């Protein structure tokens, strides 16, 4: 059972398929595993994963070997490990990339919030130790930002503020005066943005739009400056990535108080969603304009890394658009049906399928759930859509009797509903009627234009002939 517990943790962490090789037997036979389980004086078990290695790509040791991915089992008390004491006596942690990066992320995201902000622990944790913990987090962050191996790429930059702080730190620590002046120059460009990006999740949507515009100016100024060595392209690309990630995280937070599926669409939902969509569109436009047009054609430092496409914000923008369309279509269906019809056809309860599905939580794992829910909603609305199609058919018939222009206006009025697959199928005849009417009108206009053009040419020719006869 002890070996099975270790195998479960190791297999889950490294996503090892059980069919690749007998992992359980391999672990049971390993000397380091046996030592960790049975020898009270063995404090560590380090599991390293390398896909190039045989036997599931795993190696076991009591000291840290080379490699990027480690799972570490730490024995808290000097004792042998049993099934009964495993949870109490074994601490499990992981190590990726560098030890500094792993320690920084653990301190910043686990222990600082727990020991400095959580009232259960911060009140009993010594204030001097709290200060030391804060200094440790700040020092580790500075060490990562100033790591010379990341100087050009900015791989250690995890947020916009990290990048801004990097230039502030270089302006104080660089050995060469010119390097300090260059860093100070870049920091002065970004410094007005520090406060807003530190608290971006608390910004109102309008302030977020203004932040995009100010970011545009700051990035453009930093890239086009000619007083110092250019801003590293790979570092700028990394900055665009973390800026986009900040907006992709903050925009849904602005909608946290909006009842997307149950709130009144016109009064409570529509405007906040469209404002959030505008923020996404502004950011995507910034990326396209700077890296696809202005920087690409810059004489001093042309951008050569291709147009930057922010996938996260693009997906969020598309999702918001889908939510707006769904709610808008649903509202139009509600307006076209009487309260009795809504109850009979189940319209009132159709949106409940989205309960428990965060509409703006967008990633590869939630996409299937979202699409499945949209399909389920479509099935729930089939009867209602058939009834709505009947009513639209009547309205379109009356409109066409009035004039083709009136029919076109009715189609434009309900264009969102007509995009619904079920309604679109049932209104094929009406769509063909509109197409025929529009085609006939276009042909009439074309013939009229040709006739007028022929008459005009004939008049011009006659006038020229008369002038020639007089001469």
Helices (H), 381-427: 382-402, 404-413, 415-418, 421-426
Residue 165: pLDDT above 60? yes
Vertex 460 angle, CA 455 and 463, to 5°: 125
Q: What is the pTM assigned to this prediction?
A: 0.77
The pLDDT, as a whole number, for residue 142 is 74
Residue 187: pLDDT above 90? yes
Cα–Cα distance for residue pair 209/280, rounded to 1 Å: 9
Which of 179, 145, 139 minimizes the C-alpha distance to 160? 145
Tokens of 148: 């010379």
Cα–Cα distance for residue pair 215/211, rounded to 1 Å: 6
Which of 108, 36, 106 minimizes the C-alpha distance to 75? 36
Vertex 406 angle, CA 401 and 409, to 5°: 145
Helix axes of 205-224 and 177-190: crossing angle, nearest 10 degrees: 150
What value does the mean pLDDT take over residues 187-215?
95
* Residues 234-274 pLDDT 10s: 999 999 999 999 999 999 999 999 999 999 999 999 999 99
Cα 198–chain centre separation: 18
The pLDDT, as a whole number, for residue 19 is 47
The pLDDT, as a whole number, for residue 469 is 59
The pLDDT, as a whole number, for residue 329 is 92
* Residues 42-53 pLDDT 10s: 889 988 887 776
Is 123 buried (19+), middle (13-18) or exposed (0-12) by CB count in 10 A? exposed
- Distance between start and end Cα atoms, the chain: 116
Residue 154: pLDDT above 70? no
The pLDDT, as a whole number, for residue 8 is 83
Cα–Cα distance for residue pair 88/355, rounded to 1 Å: 38
Tokens of 386: 């058939």
Which of 149, 184, 150, 190 minimizes the C-alpha distance to 168? 184
Is 147 buried (19+), middle (13-18) or exposed (0-12) by CB count in 10 A? middle
Mean pLDDT of the chain: 85
- CA Rg value for the chain: 33
Cα–Cα distance for residue pair 298/420, rounded to 1 Å: 45
* Residues 403-429 pLDDT 10s: 778 878 887 888 888 888 888 888 777
The pLDDT, as a whole number, for residue 292 is 94
* Residues 275-326 pLDDT 10s: 999 999 999 999 999 999 999 888 888 999 999 999 999 999 999 999 999 9
Q: Is residue 144 within 8 Å of residue 154, measured between CB atoms?
A: no
Tokens of 368: 């299937």
DSSP per position, 299-360: SSS---S-----HHHHHHHHHHHHHHHHHHHHHHHHHHS-HHHHHHHTHHHHGGGGTT--TT
Cα–Cα distance for residue pair 417/424, rounded to 1 Å: 8
Phi, psi angle pair for 93, to nearest 5°: -140, 165
């Amino acid at each position: 059972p002890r070996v099975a517990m270790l195998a479960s943790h190791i297999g889950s962490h490294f996503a090892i398929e059980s069919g690749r090789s007998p992992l359980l037997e391999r672990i049971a036979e390993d000397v380091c595993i046996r030592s960790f389980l049975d020898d009270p004086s063995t404090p560590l078990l380090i599991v390293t994963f390398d896909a190039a290695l045989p036997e599931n790509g795993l190696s076991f040791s009591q000291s840290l070997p080379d490699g990027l991915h480690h799972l570490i089992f730490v024995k808290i008390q000097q004792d042998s490990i049993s099934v009964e004491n495993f949870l109490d006596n074994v601490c499990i942690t992981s190590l990726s990339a560098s030890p500094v990066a792993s320690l920084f992320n653990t301190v910043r995201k686990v222990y600082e919030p727990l020991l400095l902000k959580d009232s259960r622990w911060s009140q009993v944790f010594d204030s001097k130790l709290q200060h030391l913990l804060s200094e440790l987090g700040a020092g580790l962050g500075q060490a990562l930002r100033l790591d010379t191996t990341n100087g050009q790429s900015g791989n250690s930059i995890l947020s916009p503020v990290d990048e801004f702080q990097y230039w502030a730190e270089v302006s104080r620590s660089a050995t060469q005066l010119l390097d300090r002046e260059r860093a100070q120059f870049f920091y002065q460009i970004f410094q007005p943005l520090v406060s807003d990006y530190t608290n971006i999740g608390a910004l109102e949507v309008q302030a977020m739009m203004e932040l995009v515009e100010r970011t545009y100016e700051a990035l453009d100024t930093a890239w086009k400056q000619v007083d110092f060595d250019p801003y590293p392209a790979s570092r700028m690309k990394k900055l665009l990535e973390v800026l986009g990630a900040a907006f992709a995280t903050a925009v849904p937070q602005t909608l946290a108080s909006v009842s997307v599926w149950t709130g009144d669409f016109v009064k409570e939902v529509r405007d906040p969603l469209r404002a959030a969509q505008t923020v996404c569109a502004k950011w995507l436009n910034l990326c396209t304009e700077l890296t696809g047009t202005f920087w690409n054609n810059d004489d001093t430092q042309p951008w050569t890394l291709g147009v930057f496409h922010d996938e996260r914000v693009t997906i969020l923008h598309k999702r918001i658009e889908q939510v707006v369309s769904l709610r808008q279509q649903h509202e139009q269906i509600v307006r076209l049906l009487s309260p009795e019809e809504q109850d009979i056809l189940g319209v009132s309860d159709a949106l409940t399928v989205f309960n428990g599905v965060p509409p703006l939580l967008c990633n590869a794992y939630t996409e299937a759930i979202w699409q499945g829910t949209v399909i389920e909603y479509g099935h729930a609305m089939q009867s209602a859509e058939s009834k709505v199609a009947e009513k639209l058919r009547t309205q379109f018939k009356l409109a066409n009797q009035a004039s083709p222009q009136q029919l076109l206006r009715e189609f434009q009025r309900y264009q969102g509903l007509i995009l619904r697959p079920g309604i679109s199928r049932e209104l094929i005849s009406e769509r063909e009627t509109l197409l025929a009417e529009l085609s006939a009108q276009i042909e009439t206009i074309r013939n009229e234009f040709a006739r007028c053009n022929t008459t005009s040419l004939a008049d011009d020719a006659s006038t020229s002939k008369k002038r020639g006869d007089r001469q």
